[in-house]
Amino acid sequence: MGTIDISYYNLFIGLLLLAIPFFYLWKFKTGLLKPALIGTVRMIIQLFFIGMYLKYLFLWNNPWINFLWVIIMIFVAGQTALVRTQLKHRILLIPITVGFLCSVVLVGLYFIGIVLQLDNIFSAQYFIPIFGILMGNMLSSNVIALNTYYSGLKREQQLYRYLLGNGATRQEAQAPFIRQAIIKSFSPLIANISVMGLVALPGTMIGQILGGSSPNVAIKYQMMIMVITFTASMLSLMITISLASRRSFDAYGKLLEVTKEPRK
């Protein structure tokens, strides 16, 4: 049995559930009601647009078009990271773009080509969803980690200089701040992995079961999704921090002004 379709009328009925969180955002004057409304409208428009685009993307199944879509996703993710971290373009744009591109290509193609052993590794049915999942997770982990990394450096510049003054290399002096960035970014993911299947049934697994796949197949796919998102997120973060750090300090090891000036 295939997935049960949701009519547009029933979809509207389902969207009415948003009245509950919206009410409490308004009642407690959180200031989040307007962003939540705008975000919801954007989500609906974007998903309908992507749905129409993916319909033709799967129909064409052209490797060049598929890869172009991945490049677009990387560009959008890079711009989103710049906005969320408030880091300057010259500091983060190239590092995070390279980090995303290298990680998603290496890990994504490893999964599709070696684990799944598809004859056509650019098949839209697998290529687009897998790369999309990787990009979403890499973006979230990178934003949290980069904010933690640079805020730690700005807050504890004396510790960084002390380590340099006592013979540590730049990599060694940066290690405590990278460690904190990794802990802050990956602790939720590790906690999520540890309770998966007991406390929570993940979306990928549920989606496959609703689509008609057997639970055994869905479980194996979910295991691999968690493995590749964990790996790609860590790899992209390490590449991004390594490249960004080279642009963040002067010749004497002093941290430059890396964040954008707040708008007045």
pLDDT digits (tens, 9 = 90+) for 236-246: 999 999 998 88
Are 231 and 102 in contact by the 8 Å Cβ rule? The answer is no
H helices of 16-123, in order, are 19-27, 33-60, 63-85, 89-109
Could you tell me if 21 and 150 lie in one domain?
Answer: no
Q: What percent of the chain has pLDDT over 90?
A: 41
Eight-state DSSP code of residue 100: H
- Residue 50 placed within a domain: yes
Could you tell me if 40 and 150 lie in one domain?
Answer: no
Could you tell me if 193 and 214 lie in one domain?
Answer: yes
Strand partners, 255: 249
From the CB of residue 206, how many other CB atoms can be counted at a distance below 10 Å? Answer: 13
> Alpha-carbon torsion 74, 208, 44, 143, what sign?
negative
pTM (predicted TM-score): 0.83
Weakest-pLDDT range from 34-43, 165-174, 197-206, 218-227? 197-206
Weakest-pLDDT range from 41-45, 124-128, 192-196, 204-208? 204-208
Per-residue confidence band for 180, with pLDDT thresholds at 50, 70 and 90: very high
Per-residue confidence band for 82, with pLDDT thresholds at 50, 70 and 90: confident
Q: What percent of the chain has pLDDT over 70?
A: 94
Could you tell me if 55 and 67 lie in one domain?
Answer: no
Could you tell me if 119 and 148 lie in one domain?
Answer: yes
Tokens of 10: 């029933």
Angle (nearest 5°) at CA 140 between 83 and 143: 45
Per-residue confidence band for 248, with pLDDT thresholds at 50, 70 and 90: confident
Helix and strand numbers (H, E) in the chain are 10, 0
Sequence-separated (6 or more) residues with CB below 8 Å from residue 180: 148, 149, 152
**Which residue is it, tokens 């057997």?**
214
Collapse the DSSP code of 87 into the 3-class scheme (helix H, G, I; strand E, B; otherwise coil) and give the result: strand
Per-residue confidence band for 163, with pLDDT thresholds at 50, 70 and 90: confident
Total structural domains in the chain? Answer: 2
The more confident residue out of 146 and 55 is 146
Could you tell me if 139 and 205 lie in one domain?
Answer: yes
In 3D space, the residue among 157, 131, 159 whose CA is nearest the CA of residue 232 turns out to be: 131
| Axis-axis angle for helices 33-60, 63-85 (nearest 10) | 160
Indicate if the pLDDT at residue 204 is higher than 80. Answer: no
Collapse the DSSP code of 196 into the 3-class scheme (helix H, G, I; strand E, B; otherwise coil) and give the result: strand
Residue range 188-198: mean pLDDT, rounded: 81
Average pLDDT, the chain: 87
- Residue 253 placed within a domain: no
Are 250 and 256 in contact by the 8 Å Cβ rule? The answer is yes
Could you tell me if 55 and 68 lie in one domain?
Answer: no
Could you tell me if 88 and 162 lie in one domain?
Answer: yes
In 3D space, the residue among 180, 178, 153 whose CA is nearest the CA of residue 253 turns out to be: 153
Could you tell me if 112 and 89 lie in one domain?
Answer: yes
Indicate if the pLDDT at residue 156 is higher than 90. Answer: no
Please tell me the predicted confidence (pLDDT) of residue 15.
94
| Axis-axis angle for helices 170-195, 124-155 (nearest 10) | 130
- Residue 70 placed within a domain: yes
Query: What domain range is 33 assigned to?
Result: 6-59
Could you tell me if 21 and 124 lie in one domain?
Answer: no
- Residue 55 placed within a domain: yes
Per-residue confidence band for 103, with pLDDT thresholds at 50, 70 and 90: very high
Please tell me the predicted confidence (pLDDT) of residue 102.
95
- Residue 261 placed within a domain: no
Could you tell me if 97 and 38 lie in one domain?
Answer: no
Indicate if the pLDDT at residue 1 is higher than 60. Answer: no
- Residue 75 placed within a domain: yes
- Residue 197's alpha-carbon distances to 122, 193, 208, in angstroms, are 30, 9, 15
Could you tell me if 168 and 146 lie in one domain?
Answer: yes
pLDDT digits (tens, 9 = 90+) for 28-60: 999 999 999 999 999 999 888 888 888 888 888
Sequence-separated (6 or more) residues with CB below 8 Å from residue 169: none
Please tell me the predicted confidence (pLDDT) of residue 41.
95
- Residue 97 placed within a domain: yes
- Residue 141 placed within a domain: yes
> Alpha-carbon torsion 250, 254, 255, 261, what sign?
negative
Indicate if the pLDDT at residue 201 is higher than 70. Answer: no
Measured distance CA(28)–CA(24) in Å, rounded: 6
